[in-house]
Structure 1
Amino acid sequence: MDVHPLKTLLQLQLASDSSAVAHLPFTLASLTAASLVPSPHSPKWTARINSLLHAKTSDARWAGLCLAHKTAFLSQAIMIECAQSWIGVALPLLAKKEPSPVHSAAVRLLRVIFSAATEMNEFQRQVATPNVLKFTTALMPLAESHPDVDLKVLILSTLTRLIPLYPTLHRASQNALSSLCFTFLNGNPFKPPNHKLTTAASQLYAVLHLTGGKVGAANLWRKSVDDALAFAWSSFSSLRTTFLVDGRLPLAIAGSNEPLTSIPLNLDRLRCCIAVLNDLFVATVHRPIQVPLGALVKLALALVTCKKDEKTDQHFDATTRTMESAVTPHIWSLGCRLVSSLAASFGPQLTPHLPRLVSCLTIQLEQESISATRLPFLEALRTSLSHGHALYSTMIANRLAKAVLPIASVLIDRRTDARPAEIETGKSKKGKKRARDFEGDEVFRTGHEVVCPTTDDSQALFCAFVVLRLLLRTASLSAALQSIVCRVALSALLALPEMLPSALSPDPQFHSLLLDEVQEICVEFASASVEGLSKSLGLVVGSCSTQGKMSREIELLLHPRLPPLMRSMPGVEALSLFRAEESQEESDLLRSLGLVSADPPTMESQPAMEAEPVASVVPHATLAPPPMSQQPSTPQLPPLAEKPAPIAAAPRTALPPRPPAAQLQQQRAQQPKIAPPAPPATEVAMQVEDDEKNEEMPSIDLDSDSDAE
Structure 2
Amino acid sequence: MSFQLTSSAKNTQLLGNVLSLYMSNDNLIHTNLSFVIDIIVNHRLFNETREPSEDLASVYRKWTVRLNSLLQSKNVAARWCGITLVRVTCENSHTLLIANAKTWSAQLLGFVGKAEPLIIHQEAIKALSFLFSYTVDKPELQREVATPNLQRYNQLLLQLGRKQDLLPIVLSALTANVKCFPSTSRHISDQVLQLCLSCLDGSRDLDEKTIKEANKCVASLYNAGGKANMAEVWRDSLLRLIGSVHVCLDRLFDTIDEESQEAELPKAYPFLPVSHDYVEAFPVLLKRIQLVQECISTFLTTSTTIAVGVPVVHLVDLICRIYNVFEGSLMRDYKDKTEFFTLMMCLPALHLSTSKMFTSLLYCSGQEMMRYSKLFSRILLRLLSEHKNKRTLKSSAYKLISLCLEKCGYAFGENIYKQLTIYILQDLLVVQHKAASIVNTSGQQKKSHKKRRTEVTNSDSLSNKLISASSTDVQVAALDTLATLLNVFGFAMENGQRSSVDGTVLSRLIQVIQPSNMTDEEIILVKAGLYQCLIASVSHPIETQASILPHASRLFAAGVNDQSHELQTLCKKGLNVCDLITHSRLPPIQRVLPKVSPAVVVTAQELAEEESEVEEEEEEVEEEELMEEKPVEETKEIKSVEITPVSLPTIVKPVTLPPVQKEVVFQVIEEVVEETKPVEEAKLVEENKTVAKVTEETKLVEEVKSTETIDISVSTAETTVAPVTNVSDDEDLDLDMPMIDMTGPDSDEEDDE
Farther-moved stretch of structure 1 (105-114 vs 557-566): 557-566
Please report how far the alpha carbon of residue 564 of structure 1 lies from its aligned counterpart in structure 2 after TM superposition: 5.2
Partner of 1:37: 47
- Confirm whether residue 132 of structure 1 aligns to residue 150 of structure 2: yes
- Confirm whether residue 49 of structure 1 aligns to residue 61 of structure 2: no
Specify the SS of the correspondent of 1:232.
Answer: helix
Q: TM-score, normalised by structure 1?
A: 0.67
CA 1:255–1:214 in 2, change beyond 3 Å: closer, same or farther?
Answer: closer
Q: Which of 457, 463, 468 is the aligned partner of 2:477?
A: 463
Partner of 1:73: 91
Please report how far the alpha carbon of residue 60 of structure 1 lies from its aligned counterpart in structure 2 after TM superposition: 1.1
Task: Give the Cα–Cα distance (whole angstroms) in 1 for the partners of residues 253 and 426 of structure 2.
Answer: 32
Q: Which of 198, 201, 209 is the aligned partner of 2:222?
A: 209
Partner of 1:347: 366
Partner of 1:28: 37
For residues 191-216 of structure 1, the C-alpha deviation after alignment (integer angstroms, 9 at most, x for no partner) is 44543322221111011112224431
Q: Which of 493, 504, 510 is the aligned partner of 1:488?
A: 504
Q: Which amino acid aligns with 2:193?
A: S
Task: Give the Cα–Cα distance (whole angstroms) in 1 for the partners of residues 468 and 185 of structure 2.
Answer: 55
Task: Determine if contact 1:14/1:20 at 8 Å carries over to the other structure.
Answer: yes
Q: Which amino acid aligns with 1:484?
A: S
CA 1:375–1:535 in 2, change beyond 3 Å: closer, same or farther?
Answer: closer
Specify the SS of the correspondent of 2:229.
Answer: helix
Task: Determine if contact 1:381/1:467 at 8 Å carries over to the other structure.
Answer: yes
Task: Determine if contact 1:218/1:286 at 8 Å carries over to the other structure.
Answer: no
CA 1:157–1:407 in 2, change beyond 3 Å: closer, same or farther?
Answer: farther
Task: Determine if contact 1:217/1:286 at 8 Å carries over to the other structure.
Answer: no
Task: Give the Cα–Cα distance (whole angstroms) in 1 for the partners of residues 39 and 273 of structure 2.
Answer: 61
Task: Give the Cα–Cα distance (whole angstroms) in 2 for the partners of residues 552 and 128 of structure 1.
Answer: 59
- Confirm whether residue 386 of structure 1 aligns to residue 413 of structure 2: no
Partner of 2:382: 363
For residues 372-393 of structure 1, the C-alpha deviation after alignment (integer angstroms, 9 at most, x for no partner) is 4323322322222223323356
Q: Which amino acid aligns with 2:164?
A: P
- Confirm whether residue 219 of structure 1 aligns to residue 237 of structure 2: no
Give the number of aligned pairs.
536
Task: Give the Cα–Cα distance (whole angstroms) in 2 for the partners of residues 486 and 22 of structure 1.
Answer: 63
Task: Determine if contact 2:467/2:514 at 8 Å carries over to the other structure.
Answer: no
Please report how far the alpha carbon of residue 98 of structure 1 lies from its aligned counterpart in structure 2 after TM superposition: 1.3
Task: Determine if contact 1:49/1:68 at 8 Å carries over to the other structure.
Answer: yes
Please report how far the alpha carbon of residue 119 of structure 1 lies from its aligned counterpart in structure 2 after TM superposition: 4.2
Task: Give the Cα–Cα distance (whole angstroms) in 1 for the partners of residues 416 and 222 of structure 2.
Answer: 40
Partner of 1:279: 298
Task: Give the Cα–Cα distance (whole angstroms) in 1 for the partners of residues 21 and 210 of structure 2.
Answer: 41
CA 1:286–1:405 in 2, change beyond 3 Å: closer, same or farther?
Answer: same
Q: Give RMSD over aligned pairs.
A: 3.8
Partner of 1:472: 486
CA 1:551–1:164 in 2, change beyond 3 Å: closer, same or farther?
Answer: farther
Alignment of 1:553-592 (within 5 A): 554=576, 557-558=579-580
Q: Which amino acid aligns with 1:164?
A: K
Task: Determine if contact 1:114/1:128 at 8 Å carries over to the other structure.
Answer: yes
Q: TM-score, normalised by structure 2?
A: 0.64
Q: Which amino acid aligns with 1:279?
A: T
Task: Give the Cα–Cα distance (whole angstroms) in 2 for the partners of residues 69 and 433 of structure 1.
Answer: 77
Partner of 1:15: 24
Partner of 2:725: none
CA 1:304–1:311 in 2, change beyond 3 Å: closer, same or farther?
Answer: closer
Task: Give the Cα–Cα distance (whole angstroms) in 1 for the partners of residues 372 and 84 of structure 2.
Answer: 52
Please report how far the alpha carbon of residue 235 of structure 1 lies from its aligned counterpart in structure 2 after TM superposition: 0.8
Please report how far the alpha carbon of residue 351 of structure 1 lies from its aligned counterpart in structure 2 after TM superposition: 0.7
Q: Which amino acid aligns with 1:23?
A: N
CA 1:200–1:52 in 2, change beyond 3 Å: closer, same or farther?
Answer: same
Please report how far the alpha carbon of residue 69 of structure 1 lies from its aligned counterpart in structure 2 after TM superposition: 2.0
Please report how far the alpha carbon of residue 89 of structure 1 lies from its aligned counterpart in structure 2 after TM superposition: 1.3
Partner of 1:163: 178
Task: Give the Cα–Cα distance (whole angstroms) in 2 for the partners of residues 397 and 245 of structure 1.
Answer: 30
Task: Give the Cα–Cα distance (whole angstroms) in 1 for the partners of residues 191 and 587 of structure 2.
Answer: 58
Give structure 1 stretches of 5+ with no counterpart.
Answer: 443-447, 568-709
Please report how far the alpha carbon of residue 80 of structure 1 lies from its aligned counterpart in structure 2 after TM superposition: 3.0
Please report how far the alpha carbon of residue 422 of structure 1 lies from its aligned counterpart in structure 2 after TM superposition: 12
Task: Give the Cα–Cα distance (whole angstroms) in 2 for the partners of residues 293 and 82 of structure 1.
Answer: 50
Q: Which amino acid aligns with 2:234?
A: W
Specify the SS of the correspondent of 2:180.
Answer: coil
Please report how far the alpha carbon of residue 555 of structure 1 lies from its aligned counterpart in structure 2 after TM superposition: 6.9
Task: Give the Cα–Cα distance (whole angstroms) in 2 for the partners of residues 566 and 229 of structure 1.
Answer: 50
Task: Give the Cα–Cα distance (whole angstroms) in 1 for the partners of residues 180 and 468 of structure 2.
Answer: 52
Farther-moved stretch of structure 1 (296-305 vs 211-220): 211-220
Q: Which amino acid aligns with 1:216?
A: N
Q: Which amino acid aligns with 2:358?
A: V
Partner of 2:102: 84
Please report how far the alpha carbon of residue 314 of structure 1 lies from its aligned counterpart in structure 2 after TM superposition: 1.4
Q: Which of 507, 527, 531 is the aligned partner of 1:515?
A: 527
- Confirm whether residue 146 of structure 1 aligns to residue 146 of structure 2: no
Please report how far the alpha carbon of residue 176 of structure 1 lies from its aligned counterpart in structure 2 after TM superposition: 1.7
For residues 392-421 of structure 1, the C-alpha deviation after alignment (integer angstroms, 9 at most, x for no partner) is 564522112222332233xx33xx44xx55
Please report how far the alpha carbon of residue 290 of structure 1 lies from its aligned counterpart in structure 2 after TM superposition: 2.9
Please report how far the alpha carbon of residue 306 of structure 1 lies from its aligned counterpart in structure 2 after TM superposition: 0.9
Alignment of 1:179-578 (within 5 A): 179-188=194-203, 191-192=204-205, 194-247=207-260, 256-312=275-331, 314-367=333-386, 371-372=390-391, 373-391=393-411, 394=414, 396-409=416-429, 412-413=430-431, 416-417=432-433, 420=434, 457-473=471-487, 474=489, 475=491, 477-495=493-511, 499=514, 504-505=518-519, 510-528=522-540, 536-537=552-553, 542=559, 546=567, 548=569, 554=576, 557-558=579-580
CA 1:460–1:485 in 2, change beyond 3 Å: closer, same or farther?
Answer: same
Q: Computing the radius of gyration over CA atoms, which structure comes out larger, 1 or 2?
A: 2
Alignment of 1:640-659 (within 5 A): none
Q: Which amino acid aligns with 2:422?
A: K
For residues 611-665 of structure 1, the C-alpha deviation after alignment (integer angstroms, 9 at most, x for no partner) is xxxxxxxxxxxxxxxxxxxxxxxxxxxxxxxxxxxxxxxxxxxxxxxxxxxxxxx
CA 1:254–1:181 in 2, change beyond 3 Å: closer, same or farther?
Answer: closer
Task: Give the Cα–Cα distance (whole angstroms) in 2 for the partners of residues 140 and 317 of structure 1.
Answer: 44
Task: Give the Cα–Cα distance (whole angstroms) in 1 for the partners of residues 535 and 480 of structure 2.
Answer: 14
Q: Which amino acid aligns with 2:484?
A: L
Task: Give the Cα–Cα distance (whole angstroms) in 2 for the partners of residues 552 and 35 of structure 1.
Answer: 51
CA 1:280–1:379 in 2, change beyond 3 Å: closer, same or farther?
Answer: same
Task: Determine if contact 2:70/2:79 at 8 Å carries over to the other structure.
Answer: yes
Specify the SS of the correspondent of 1:327.
Answer: helix
Task: Determine if contact 1:391/1:476 at 8 Å carries over to the other structure.
Answer: no
Specify the SS of the correspondent of 2:164.
Answer: coil
Specify the SS of the correspondent of 2:187.
Answer: coil
Task: Determine if contact 1:62/1:102 at 8 Å carries over to the other structure.
Answer: yes
For residues 303-328 of structure 1, the C-alpha deviation after alignment (integer angstroms, 9 at most, x for no partner) is 12212243436122344223222111
Task: Determine if contact 1:401/1:471 at 8 Å carries over to the other structure.
Answer: no
Farther-moved stretch of structure 1 (526-535 vs 67-76): 526-535
Task: Give the Cα–Cα distance (whole angstroms) in 2 for the partners of residues 160 and 196 of structure 1.
Answer: 14
Q: Which amino acid aligns with 1:220?
A: V
Task: Determine if contact 1:215/1:287 at 8 Å carries over to the other structure.
Answer: no
Please report how far the alpha carbon of residue 62 of structure 1 lies from its aligned counterpart in structure 2 after TM superposition: 0.7
CA 1:109–1:514 in 2, change beyond 3 Å: closer, same or farther?
Answer: farther
Please report how far the alpha carbon of residue 228 of structure 1 lies from its aligned counterpart in structure 2 after TM superposition: 0.9
Task: Give the Cα–Cα distance (whole angstroms) in 2 for the partners of residues 100 and 384 of structure 1.
Answer: 46
